């Protein structure tokens, strides 16, 4: 590309005419590699939102990590669409060269920028970011803590366990759920934290903890799952039933009342769990479920009966 053409094109990018600036940005594809990144970064503060959005998209396409600081600032653009475009663009920088500027973004005074930087770092799964993620897990902003915990969960580094365990009691229930998932996958010593979470004030946290306890099968876990059958939320009860089935806890008689629960989802879970446990003494009650008004419950009962009869006759 000649110097004259380059100068002409750059003049169009910075024209006083907003339509000309927009048009120039839409025509960048074939010559994008010749456009200095700083010229596009300047457009991130253009007075026209459409120009700012097109500039973000062009910088994403260019893929130069030098654009990351400017795109991070665009996350808080007054125009929501520009901000969302900037957040999406950050996740497209997938080289190690992107780590350093993203780590700078984690230090930004604005929590929305910090969270956006963490999301992009999570996608990179870079161990260079570990210390920054640990610090961000203690951030005052729930959104930032959430993204930090998610990123630490992705890395699956044993050194993150103390922070993840602490996050099981985070003030934000969504963070508690994420932390429960993470610790249950990383370490068997997480059992005590999961058991404690089964009495959380938030029912979704309780349900998550009960579900994740299905990875363990000691006596304390089984007793906790049995107690969870008495939870006042059916979603937690259903997870407890399913977990008891997965660990094959010898508690079939405790599940029989749930074959006649008012909700079909619970009845189905109970039938499947009884079959998983292998409790042939429940066959008579299971046969009653064959007349259930819900076809899903009927099918679950039929499958459970077939499995139990096979085990009994084997």
Domains of the chain: 1-93 (1.25.10.10)
Q: Nearest to residue 274, comparing CAs of 233, 239, 304?
A: 304
pLDDT, averaged across the chain: 91
- In terms of Cα–Cα distance, which of 181, 152, 187 is closest to 168? 181
Does this model's pTM top 0.85? My answer is no
The pLDDT of residue 269 is 98
Burial 232-271 (b: 16+ CB within 10 A, else e): eebbbbbbbbbbbbbbebebbebbbebbebeebbbbbbbb
Cα separation, 217 vs 84, in Å, equals 44
* 8 Å CB contact between 106 and 136: yes
Q: What is the pLDDT of residue 2?
A: 47
Q: Which pLDDT belongs to residue 32?
A: 72
Q: Of 169, 170, 137, 168, which is closest to residue 152 (Cα–Cα)? A: 137
pLDDT (0 to 100) of residue 149: 95
CA distances from 179 to 117, 145, 164, 247, 270 (A): 20, 11, 6, 22, 28
The 3-class secondary structure across the chain, one letter per residue, is CCHHHHHHHHHHHCCCCHHHHHHHHHCCHHHHHHCCHHHHHHHHHCCCHHHHHHHHHHHHHHCCHHHHHHHHHHCCCCCHHHHHHHHHHHCCCCCHHHHHHHHHHHCCCCHHHHHHHHHHHHHHCCHHHHHHHHHHCCCCCHHHHHHHHHHHHHHCCHHHHHHHHHHCCCCCHHHHHHHHHHHHHHCHHHHHHHHHHCCCCCHHHHHHHHHHHHHCCCHHHHHHHHHHCCCCCHHHHHHHHHHHHHCCCCCHHHHHHHHHCCCHHHHHHHHHHHHHHCCHHHHHHHHHHHHCCCHHHHHHHHHHHHHHHHHHHC
Residue pLDDT tens, the chain, 314 long? 445 555 666 778 777 888 888 887 887 776 677 778 888 899 999 999 999 999 999 999 989 999 999 999 999 999 999 999 999 999 999 999 999 999 999 999 999 999 999 999 988 888 888 899 999 999 999 999 999 999 998 887 888 889 998 999 999 999 999 999 888 887 677 888 899 999 999 999 999 999 999 999 889 999 999 999 999 999 999 999 999 999 999 999 999 999 999 999 999 999 999 999 999 999 999 999 999 999 999 999 999 999 999 877 65
Residue 168 buriedness (CB in 10 A; 0-12 / 13-18 / 19+)? buried
């Amino acid at each position: 590309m000649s110097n004259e053409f380059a100068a002409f094109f750059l003049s169009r990018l910075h024209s006083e005419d907003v339509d000309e600036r927009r048009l120039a940005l839409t025509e960048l594809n074939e010559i994008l590699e010749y456009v200095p990144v700083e010229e596009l970064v300047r457009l991130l503060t253009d007075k026209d939102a459409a120009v700012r959005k097109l500039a973000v998209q062009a910088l994403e396409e260019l893929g130069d990590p030098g654009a990351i600081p400017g795109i991070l600032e665009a996350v808080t653009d007054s125009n929501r669409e520009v901000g969302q475009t900037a957040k999406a663009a950050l996740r497209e920088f997938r080289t190690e060269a992107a780590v350093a500027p993203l780590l700078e973004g984690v230090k930004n005074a604005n929590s929305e920028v910090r969270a956006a930087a963490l999301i992009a770092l999570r996608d990179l799964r870079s161990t260079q970011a570990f210390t920054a993620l640990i610090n961000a897990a203690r951030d005052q902003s729930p959104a930032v803590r959430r993204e930090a915990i998610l990123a630490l969960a992705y890395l699956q580094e044993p050194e993150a366990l103390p922070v993840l365990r602490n996050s099981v009691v985070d003030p934000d229930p969504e963070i508690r759920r994420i932390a429960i998932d993470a610790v249950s996958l990383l370490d068997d010593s997480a059992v005590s934290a999961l058991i404690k979470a089964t009495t959380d004030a938030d029912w979704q946290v309780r349900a998550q903890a009960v579900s994740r306890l299905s990875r363990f099968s000691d006596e304390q876990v089984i007793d906790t799952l049995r107690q969870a059958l008495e939870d006042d939320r059916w979603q937690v009860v259903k997870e407890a039933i399913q977990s008891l089935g997965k660990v094959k806890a010898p508690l079939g008689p405790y599940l029989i009342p749930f074959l006649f629960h008012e909700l079909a989802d619970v009845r189905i879970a109970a039938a499947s769990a009884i079959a998983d446990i292998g409790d042939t003494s429940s066959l008579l009650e299971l046969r009653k479920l064959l007349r259930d008004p819900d076809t899903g419950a009927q099918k679950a009962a039929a499958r459970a009966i077939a499995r139990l009869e096979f085990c009994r006759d084997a």
